[in-house]
Amino acid sequence: MFWADELAARLSGPQVVNDSKTPSGTIHVGSLRGPVILDVIVRALRAHDLPTTLLYGIDDLDPMDAQAMLTPDATEQWMGVPLAHVPDPASDGHESYARHFAGQFIDTFAGLGIHPDRYYWMSEIYPTGQVDPLIRTALDRAELVREIYRRVSHVERPPGWLPIHVICPTCGRVGTTLSSDWNGETVAFECQPDLVTWATGCGSSGRVSPFGGAAKLPWNLEWAAQWSLFGVTVEPCGKDLATAGGSRDRSDAIAREVFERAPPLNVPYEFLNIRGQKMSSSRGRGAAAHEIAEVVPPEQLRLLFVRPRPNQAIEFDPDGSNAIPRLFDESDRLAAATAGRQVKGELPPDHERVFAASLVDPAADLEAVGSAYRPPFAHLALLLQVPGVDVPSQMAAEKGAALTAAEQDLLDERIAAARAWLDAYAPPEVRIEVQRDALPAAAGELDQAQRSALEGLADRLEGDVTWNGESLQGAIFSAATAAGIPKPRLFGAIYLAFLGRPNGPRAGWLLASLPPPFVVQRLRAAAGPDTLTA
Ligand SMILES: [Zn+2]
Ligand SMILES: [Zn+2]
């Protein structure tokens, strides 16, 4: 069974699915795994007739702790301050640092077909007073919280420690304050210069009421508080948080023992790894979620996360590789299988459900989408590099009929993706240039057997041949057999004659993208005068 259906089959009654994110900087493409998993779970629950709400939260009262994201003079001023109160470093109209980076991330959601029923910002939730009863409970049970930290995670908090971070009324930092002495109305706080290494408190102290947005709960309590506030029943989390004695265990215990509520069902998921986790490719294209989403269309990006089970790590290395074309090939294979065609290779269990989960529209007609004409990505990337090719009419010719409106849209999307891929990520060997003006000098390397095979191919192509990739590929095979040479040697000869290099894309499709008279003339030129008299 598809993993999301397995999960849905275990649940009953109304469900609230939640996730939240700290917007501490540019968000890596791997962080989309959570939201995509969330959406796929929500769709599966709804498909099983469970009324389901999807929530997505921004933990924007968390302190600024990513120094790399600030200019040196801004560091002193803003480190330790809630992300919602730090100015937008890009000065492009967002209210805050948090709004800028969270916006960049959640702006990709709609394009991916992820539509939370509600977004919430913790900087807006605290001032409403909704969290106050939970803050009171946490402070009343501070000793129990300390005991849970000790028991579950072996983390020792000093005697008198309180589970609350006051926002310093003097300097505005939340990461630097330590609180004590809860009297049922106020807490004592100190904004300490050396409480943390990454921010310097101002040294002020006093008493404040921790309610109404003047303070926030520490992360583990805030997480558990969200579950109580919103009635969360399912919340997947990354494996870094899901380790034994880790953050999730701590929050689960706090939910049960402090807030007296069962924690939501966890769906731990593995990371997506990019070689070296670097954010920027050799050609300056990054691995930020919003940048990858500009190159990889939603269906293929969803498939990247949907195809493996959540507990499987994903290796994705788009830079200088064919990782992106392979994603397209896999979605085309699943589309073909969904339409009932034979495909090569093993299919995942319930492959139609996997294909459906990769589509942006949860209500898409699978049969129609699966049977639409889908131009192979690598082939398209090749055609786009051959001057003078009318790609849409070439595609209609290869399909054997006019493209439908949906197929034309899919083609447009793929053309844009292929251009962006060639521009940003494609490996050097897929970049080609047909040498139109003259026979490349490298064709001098051709031996006599290759020359004869090229001559034989020219003869065949002058005959009655359908000018498309498949048919020309067949003609090349026949010419190699007739000349008695292995096929790869004839392919190599064609690449030398047209591209001036020993390798290239599928030769039949390469030739089909060029005008027939030019192809025949070039084949004869490469074959040379010797073969005419041989
Ligand atoms: Zn901005
Ligand atoms: Zn302060």
Cα 258 from chain centroid? 36
Tens digits of residue pLDDT in 371-400 = 999 999 988 998 888 766 788 988 998 899
| Contact status, residue 439 vs residue 526, Cβ threshold 8 Å | yes
| Contact status, residue 452 vs residue 483, Cβ threshold 8 Å | yes
Centre of ligand 1 to C-alpha 251, Å, is 32
Cα 483 from chain centroid? 48
Centre of ligand 1 to C-alpha 98, Å, is 9
Report d(CA 456, CA 531) in Å as an integer. 10
14 token code pair: 């109304």
262 token code pair: 């069962």
DSSP code for 88: P
150 token code pair: 């000790």
Closest ligand to residue 87's CA: 1
DSSP code for 243: S
Q: What is the pLDDT of residue 276?
A: 52
Centre of ligand 2 to C-alpha 140, Å, is 25
Question: Residue 402, exposed/middle/buried by CB under 10 A (0-12, 13-18, 19+)?
Answer: exposed
Tens digits of residue pLDDT in 218-272 = 999 999 999 999 999 999 999 889 888 899 999 999 999 999 999 999 999 998 8
If one compares 159 and 122, the residue with the highest pLDDT of the two is 122
Centre of ligand 2 to C-alpha 102, Å, is 26
From the list 106, 132, 108, the residue with the least C-alpha distance to 120 is: 106
Tell me what percent of the residues of the chain surpass a pLDDT of 70. Answer: 96
φ/ψ of 332, rounded to 5, equals -65, -35
Q: What is the dihedral of CA 313, 316, 322, 324, to 10 degrees?
A: 100
Q: Band of the pLDDT at 533, cuts 50, 70, 90?
A: very low
What is the enclosing helix (H) or strand (E) of 338? Answer: helix 323-338
Opening angle at CA 138, ends 146 and 38, nearest 5: 95
Q: What is the pLDDT of residue 278?
A: 45
Amino acid letter, residue 37:
I
Closest ligand to residue 171's CA: 2
Closest ligand to residue 94's CA: 1
Centre of ligand 2 to C-alpha 269, Å, is 38
Three-class secondary structure of residue 1 per DSSP: coil
Tens digits of residue pLDDT in 289-300 = 888 888 899 999
Report d(CA 290, CA 32) in Å as an integer. 10
Centre of ligand 2 to C-alpha 165, Å, is 12
Centre of ligand 1 to C-alpha 426, Å, is 30
Closest ligand to residue 172's CA: 2
Closest ligand to residue 93's CA: 1
Tens digits of residue pLDDT in 402-443 = 999 999 999 999 999 999 999 888 998 888 888 999 999 999
From the list 249, 240, 314, the residue with the least C-alpha distance to 32 is: 314
Q: What is the pLDDT of residue 68?
A: 64
DSSP code for 465: -
Q: What is the pLDDT of residue 142?
A: 98
Centre of ligand 1 to C-alpha 272, Å, is 26
| Contact status, residue 504 vs residue 432, Cβ threshold 8 Å | yes
Report d(CA 31, CA 299) in Å as an integer. 17
Closest ligand to residue 169's CA: 2
Report d(CA 335, CA 90) in Å as an integer. 41
Q: What is the dihedral of CA 517, 519, 525, 528, to 10 degrees?
A: -120
List 166's β-bridge partners, or say none: 215
pTM of the model: 0.84
Three-class secondary structure of residue 403 per DSSP: coil
Three-class secondary structure of residue 21 per DSSP: strand
Centre of ligand 2 to C-alpha 25, Å, is 23
Closest ligand to residue 195's CA: 2
List the single range of 22-31, 178-187, 454-463 with lowest mean pLDDT. Answer: 22-31
Q: What is the pLDDT of residue 150?
A: 96
Centre of ligand 2 to C-alpha 80, Å, is 9
Residue 281 has pLDDT above 60, yes or no: no
Residue 77 has pLDDT above 90, yes or no: no
Closest ligand to residue 202's CA: 2
| Contact status, residue 261 vs residue 227, Cβ threshold 8 Å | yes
Q: What is the pLDDT of residue 509?
A: 83
Amino acid letter, residue 488:
P
List the single range of 16-20, 202-206, 283-287, 327-331 with lowest mean pLDDT. Answer: 283-287
Residue 69 has pLDDT above 90, yes or no: no
Closest ligand to residue 170's CA: 2
Sign of the Cα torsion 6, 9, 11, 17 reads positive
DSSP code for 30: G
Mean pLDDT across the stretch 521-525?
96
Closest ligand to residue 167's CA: 2
Report d(CA 97, CA 23) in Å as an integer. 8
513 token code pair: 């993208």
Centre of ligand 1 to C-alpha 104, Å, is 8
From the list 302, 300, 292, 227, the residue with the least C-alpha distance to 266 is: 227
Alpha helices in 339-376 (DSSP H): 351-358, 366-371
Closest ligand to residue 81's CA: 2
Q: What is the pLDDT of residue 285?
A: 58
Centre of ligand 1 to C-alpha 32, Å, is 20
Closest ligand to residue 100's CA: 1
Centre of ligand 2 to C-alpha 84, Å, is 17
From the list 17, 18, 39, the residue with the least C-alpha distance to 303 is: 39
Quick count: other Cβ atoms within 10 Å of Cβ 144? 16
